[in-house]
Amino acid sequence: MKSENWNNCKLTVRTNIHTDLVCQTERQWAKQGYLKNDKDCGKELWINQFCRTKALYLFADEVHKASDEEVRAFFAPERERRNAKQRKLRAKQKAEAERQHDFNERRWKEFVRRDRTAVMAVLKRTLNGKRTIILDTETTGLDSSKDEILQLSIIDEQGNVLFNEHFKPIIATEWKVAESVNGISPQMVADCEDIYHYFSEIQQILYDADTIIGYNTDFDLAFLRSCDFQLYEDTETIDVMQEFAPIYGEQNENGYKWQKLSACAAYYNYDWGTATAHDSLADCRATLYCYNSIIAETSNNYDYIGLEQRERELLKRAELSDEEAVELKRIQDILEMTV
């Protein structure tokens, strides 16, 4: 039965009803272990004048102490809705994971299928006298919309230096995080020209290039574009980082994991000499070396006999580590292509 207290409450918005009596939503009462006496109890009110949701409100004389079983039964539909939502989310996440897995499988198999001609077409576009350049930048940060270029280096495919300069930033006065990585301090560039002093020279090199190679090429080009440098629409760009990822084979939830240039250089036994990573000229030379190494590696025939022996060795093991399982899958993919 509805409480007589409602006779004095003609308003339809809960926050507009002022009373000293306890008046709570049905759910609030249930959280405290109370349920309504019957279906006629309570009144539906707007929660507040800004909310488009209504709730059933009850006074204390419209509820009774309920058993634990009754309370659990009351919340059962809510739990089911929540569980259904979670199941839907998990299904979506699983579908996305499967989609990504299928994508990675297709990408790997395509990588395996590529013969020398295909790889050369992807990586080395220097026919008919076309110019290929390798470039790298060092910057004050990672955001091309606000950070600035501190060093730009460009070499050709023979390793000849086309451009290598440090720049004084126009806005930034310090970049401690970036400095700890690239070693370029404000004092080192205090007497340098800004990048626009070399604008015509850099722009001409970019215009003359048919192919631009880099390691995380999009990062470097984003910074150059933020300085108003332009590329021709048909300029090819090659990212050695993306080409190396499936070769290295490490994966995360998004597919093949991008590897640092230092990891790629170490993989191909590059000798840095007296240079170090994160000097843009040294990085250009390392990138060129890795680029040529990938071409040489993918141009050679696979040692199928060795792969078959390794497959048999892995299949004999009672248990495989995650890395060995990935290795076995890749070997089987390669051998499958030869059938």
Strand partners, 135: 154
Number of neighbours of residue 121 by Cβ within 10 angstroms: 11
- As a whole number of angstroms, the distance between CA 252 and CA 110 comes to 19
Give mean pLDDT, residues 21-32: 90
Strand partners, 165: 152
Note the pTM of the prediction, 2 decimals.
Answer: 0.53
Give mean pLDDT, residues 260-282: 87
pLDDT digits (tens, 9 = 90+) for 200-257: 999 999 998 989 999 999 999 999 999 999 998 888 899 999 988 888 888 888 788 8
Q: Is the pLDDT of residue 115 over 60?
A: no
Q: Band of the pLDDT at 338, cuts 50, 70, 90?
A: very low
What's the confidence (pLDDT) of residue 314?
81
Higher pLDDT, 114 or 276: 276
What's the confidence (pLDDT) of residue 307?
65
What's the confidence (pLDDT) of residue 120?
47
Q: Region of 269 please: left (phi>0), alpha (psi -120 to 50) or beta.
A: left
